[in-house]
Amino acid sequence: MTLSPELEARFQKILSSYPKGRERSAVIPMLMYAQDEIGSITQELIDEVAHRTGVKPLQVDEVIGYYSMMHRRPQGKYHVQVCTNISCLLVGGEELYRHACKKLGIGHKQTTKDGVFSLEEVECMGACSWAPAIQVNYDFHHGVTPEKLDKLLDELRKSRGLE
Amino acid sequence: MPLYNEPHPLEVKILSKRFGLPNSASIGAYLETEGYQAWRKAVGMGPDGIINEVKASNLRGRGGAGFPTGLKWSFVPRNSPKPKYIMVNADESEPGTCKDRLLIEFDPHQLIEGMMIAGLAVGSVAGYIYIRGEYRYLIEIMDRAIDEAYAHGYLGSNIQGTGVTFDVRTHTGAGAYECGEESALMESFEGKRGVPRIRPPFPAVAGVYQCPTVLNNVETFAAVPSIILMGGANWAGLGTPKNGGTRLFCLSGHINKPGVYELPMGFNLMRMINEVGGGMRGGKKLKAVIPGGSSCPVLKADECDVAMDYDSVAAIKSMLGSGGVVVMDEDTCMVKAAQRIMKFYAHESCGWCIPCREGTAWLKKMLDRFHAGGGRREEIKLIGDLSKSILGRTFCPLGDAAAMPTIAFVEKFYDDFAAHLDGKLCPYEAKSRLVTA
């Protein structure tokens, strides 16, 4: 599998972070960073990570279903994650999530037809004191209202159109 | 919006003293404010000196369990021929908890220094920081701080000419609450599914790679430099007996000034809500508080005149937990709160232990149905009974974490459950519909 120079350097750094003979520790970080670049976890990537860490492909495969941030199919360019757990719930997290569904015309773990947005109702993301909170990819947005969400999504869609 | 709040006059800012300083995450700012001085002092104290100081501080684990830190460190076998590891649990995922984020964002070097001191105490030369995958920006901040520490000779070999070696690396998680549990965290760190291990042996003896491991929460390690500098007894004196120092309380929910505040252990919960948190939003009445993250049994308003330390909160049959104080007003439906929390645990149960896997799924179904008005009176007790059948029957505390708050919701707010029977619409939702109509 051909990796970009950035990802190759990242893989080397990850592999060098663990003691000799403990390369299996690199499996999850390698999958996470590769997924960010490739868009999803493919069989080719599983084989590559297995080869580099000296484990069986099955041992890589079996972790994927366990972790909520790993996925085998590409998500939208912007993955919108709305927290509805207790602290967000109390200040409008569920209303915000319903608003996002309506605005994007999709539901939980679905992607818009143009592939720009995907949506997920997520568990606590550690933003409880600044609730309700969402994450778009890795970016946090705090104190989000339906109006702020509209503005953000419109801006993201616009920036996508200009690319 | 800035994540740190304006300091409140009642705060005692020790761990958070650098929050809000310009470039507070840089090594320059850290060195200007006593940074890495504690480590220098600790080098001269020796392992026993360090552990005794941490024991004297009455520092207890800030991840939730509240185990005495110095005692935990003393369990690491000194004569073990295996390498020893320092492991930071930065998998912060307990609903209501958002403090470790700030400790890493605004003061990553404080965490590195705490790890280095732990390394001196137990004879470890390698530390890892397991950071939840969602906190990618914090991994970047932490990696920059680690690079700076190497560049300035505070990490690596022969640190500052002392002959001491210590290395630190970050490690990303990938989305799993369960991996905040120490044994599941280590499984995950080793590249596997995050399922818990049976204990004993405890991590101090057989942790990462079956080697002796000191595993603590971010805030626990972050407290260590201050303890070394001010002395264990002085740190202990800030709190209440057996509950040393300060801690970061994360206030959220129906209050005017939610935020993360550093307060002495034993600070009164009502004062925390009314003074530090600015009182109830919209002048509403207080109904209930979750005192330490979603796994802690809820407190009724009349139970909230309590000192926020591990022992005082345990005395009223709840837990101080991870410092997540979730405040709920009179318009909050306790069936809804219980349902949402159970939905979380059912989602996060790793499936390893059957009572947790099946119990949380069944409880979620029951609570979903209750909130939709499909409950029957005899089932109110059944919710509590089913929860009790999970308690103590799982490898890790996730089963208990799901069961304990549910038991409290049902027992303390029976009337809320009784108001949802026989097809009745949730009275709180009905009320809010009337208000907005």
User: Which of B238, B261, B282 is where one domain is finished?
Assistant: B238
Q: What is the ipTM of this complex?
A: 0.97
List the one residue out of B393, B326, B327, B328 whose CA is nearest residue B360.
B393
In the three-class reduction of DSSP (H, G, I as helix; E, B as strand; rest coil), residue B169 is classed as strand
* Option in B177, B188, B194 nearest A123 (CB): B177
C-alpha span between B116 and B113 (Å, rounded): 5
> What is the number of structural domains in chain B?
3
- Confidence (pLDDT) at B364: 97
Residues of A with CB below 8 A from B132's CB?
126
Residue B204 lies in a domain: yes
Q: Cα–Cα distance between B313 and B316 in angstroms, integer?
A: 5
The answer to whether position B361 is within a domain reads yes
Q: Is B15 among the domain residues?
A: no
Residues B31 and B176 in one domain: yes
> Left if phi > 0, otherwise alpha if psi is -120 to 50, otherwise beta: which for B330?
alpha
B258 and B311 share one domain = yes
Q: Do A68 and B175 touch (CB under 8 A)?
A: yes
Token reading at B290: 């979750």
Residue B165 and residue B262 share a domain: no
Residues 6+ apart with CB under 8 A from B225: B37, B38, B39, B110, B113, B114, B117
| Residues whose CB is less than 8 angstroms from the CB of residue A89 and which lie 6 or more positions away in sequence, other chains included | B336, B337, B340
CB contact at 8 A, A63 and B184: no
A129 with B260: Cβ contact below 8 A = yes
Q: What is the CA radius of gyration of chain A?
A: 18
Last residue of a domain, one of B180, B203, B238: B238
Work out the angle at residue B47's Cα, subtended by the Cα atoms of residues B212 and B75, and round it to the nearest 5 degrees.
35
Written as tens digits, the pLDDT of chain B (437 aa) is 567 778 899 999 999 999 999 999 999 999 999 999 999 999 999 999 999 999 999 999 999 999 999 999 999 998 999 999 999 999 999 999 999 999 999 999 999 999 999 999 999 999 999 999 999 999 999 999 999 999 999 999 999 999 999 999 999 999 999 999 999 999 999 999 999 999 899 999 999 999 999 999 999 999 999 999 999 999 999 999 999 999 999 999 999 999 999 999 999 999 999 999 999 999 999 999 999 999 999 999 999 999 999 999 999 999 999 999 999 999 999 999 999 999 999 999 999 999 999 999 999 999 999 999 899 999 999 999 999 999 999 999 999 999 999 999 999 999 999 999 988 888 898 766 555 43
How many residues make up chain A in this entry? 163
Chain A residues touching B340 at Cβ < 8 A: 84-86, 89
Q: Tell me, yes or no, whether B167 and B193 share the same domain.
A: yes
Q: Is B176 close to A62, i.e. CB distance below 8 A?
A: no
pLDDT for residue A161:
57
The rounded distance, in Å, linking the Cα atoms of B125 and B120 is 8
- Listed residues B277, B301, B329: the one ending a domain: B329
Cα–Cα distances in angstroms (integers) from residue B328 to residues B18, B60, B171, B286, in the given order: 31, 27, 36, 6
Alpha carbon distance B393, B112 (integer Å): 37
In a domain, B218, yes or no: yes
CATH of the domain at B114: 3.40.50.11540
At residue B4, the pLDDT reads: 73
Residue B1 falls inside a structural domain? no
Instruction: Look at residues B301, B311, B226, B300 and name the one whose alpha carbon lies nearest to residue B262.
Output: B226
Angle subtended by helix axes A5-15 and A43-53, to nearest 10 = 40
**Contacts with A, B 51-80, CB within 8 Å:** none
> Residue B354, Cα to own-chain centre: how many angstroms?
26
CB pairs under 8 A between A and B: 148
Q: What angle do CA A142, A145, A146 make, to 5 degrees?
A: 135
Residue A36's closest chain B neighbor by CA? B136
Q: Which residue out of A15, A23, A86, A130 would a mutagenesis test of the B interface target, given it has the greatest number of B Cβ atoms within 10 Å?
A: A86
State the residue range of the domain holding B390. 334-436
Same domain for B369 and B315, yes or no, is no
Residues B263, B364 share a domain: no
d(CA B274, CA B255): 8
The reported pTM is: 0.97
Q: β-strands B126-131, B167-172: how paired? A: parallel
Beta strands per DSSP E along chain A:
78-83, 110-111, 117-122, 134-136, 139-141
Q: Check if B336 contacts A (Cβ < 8 Å).
A: yes
Give the up-direction half-sphere exposure of residue B283: CA atoms within 13 A in the CB hemisphere: 0
Q: Where are the alpha helices (DSSP H) in B99-178?
A: 100-106, 108-122, 136-151
Residue B2 lies in a domain: no
The answer to whether B289 and B304 are in contact (CB under 8 A) is: yes
Q: How far apart are CA B196 and CA B193, in angstroms?
A: 9
User: Would you state the pLDDT for residue B55?
Assistant: 98
CA distances from B408 to B7, B225, B272, B338, B404 (A): 34, 38, 22, 9, 6
Residue B7: inside a domain: no
Full set of structural domains in chain A with CATH: 5-64 (1.10.10), 78-162 (3.40.30.10)
pLDDT at B437: 39
Q: How far apart are CA A140 and CA B259, in angstroms?
A: 16
Residue of A nearest to B167 (CA): A17
Mean pLDDT (whole number) for A104-123: 97
Q: Are residues B46 and B85 in the same domain?
A: yes
A145 to chain B, any CB pair closer than 8 A? The answer is no
Return the bridge partners of B289, or none: B299, B327
Residue with tokens 């303390």: B412
Run of H or E including B249? strand B246-253
Which amino acid makes up residue A55? V
With beta carbons less than 8 A apart as the criterion, state whether B174 and A32 touch.
yes
CA separation for the pair B430, B437 (Å, rounded) = 10
Whether B10 is covered by a domain: the verdict is no
Quote the minimal CA–CA distance from B229 to chain A in Å.
30
Q: What is the CATH classification number for the domain harbouring B300?
A: 3.10.20.600
Q: Which residue has the tokens 């890795």?
A: A138
Give the C-alpha separation, A109 to A88, whole Å: 19
CATH of the domain at B409: 1.20.1440.230
Residues B183 and B95 in one domain: yes
Same structural domain, B118 and B226? yes
Residue A154 pLDDT level (bands cut at 50, 70, 90) = very high
A9 touches chain B (CB under 8 A): no
Q: Rounded to an integer, what distance in angstroms lies between the CA atom of residue B194 and that of residue A31?
A: 15
Domain identity same for B399 and B260: no
Give the pLDDT confidence score for residue B436 in this predicted structure: 45
**From A122, which residue of chain B is nearest by alpha-carbon distance?**
B344
CA distances from B54 to A86, A92, B237 (A): 35, 42, 13
Domain shared by B67 and B46, yes or no = yes
Residues of B in contact with A89 (CB under 8 A): 336-337, 340
Asked if residue B64 and residue B88 are part of one domain, the reply reads: yes
CB contact under 8 Å between A86 and B169, yes or no, is no
pLDDT at position B422 is 82
What do you get for the CA distance between the two ends of chain B, in Å?
32
pLDDT given for residue B416 in this prediction = 95
| β B324-329/B286-290 pair status | antiparallel
